[in-house]
Amino acid sequence: MKAQSLLLLRIGTGLLLVVWGLIRLVSPDKGAGVSVKYYAGLGASDTIQLIWGAILLVVGLLTVVGLFRRFAYPAQAVILVTGALSIWKYLLDPLGLWLLDRESSQVLFFPSLAVAGATLVLLAFRDEDRLALDRLLARRG
């Protein structure tokens, strides 16, 4: 059951990065809009969005299949935990009751907390993920 749970976490967290990477590659203006609205314009240029999109796509794909986990998992953790920390007000006040007002609150950001936790679980239990591609390849070799 643990191996299947880790596989599900890998697929879910990795696909999140794949989706966001594809959005930035196909439509960098959407990623730039998010950067302007929620991250004070940090990285809002199309060039940065394209590079960031490619990074997200690669890290996400490596995570989904479980390849180069020694590098992919920490990279994913930095991306997802940093992303969650940067929207801390939305995590602490998803309903706009005290830090935000109801118009600026965004309850859809709240799952970022679970996603950040999931990527840390993957990192903590990396050695127990028996269904990862790099582990299966090591067994054969």
Q: How far is CA 87 from CA 35, 59, 100, 116, in A?
A: 12, 21, 12, 12
What is the average per-residue pLDDT within 41-48?
Answer: 86
> Chain-wide mean pLDDT for the chain?
93
pLDDT above 80: residue 39: no
pLDDT above 80: residue 137: yes
Q: What is the DSSP letter of 68?
A: S
Angle between helices 2-26 and 69-86 (to 10 degrees): 70
With cut-offs at 50, 70 and 90, classify the pLDDT of residue 52.
Answer: very high
Q: How many domains does the chain have?
A: 1
CB 129 within 8 A of CB 10: yes
pLDDT of residue 104: 85
Q: By residue range, what is the domain housing residue 61?
A: 2-140
CB 17 within 8 A of CB 56: yes
CA distance linking residue 38 with residue 86, whole number of Å: 8
The pTM of the full predicted model, rounded to 2 decimals, is: 0.91
CA distance linking residue 136 with residue 32, whole number of Å: 39
Of the CA atoms within 13 Å of residue 44, those in its CB half-sphere come to 10
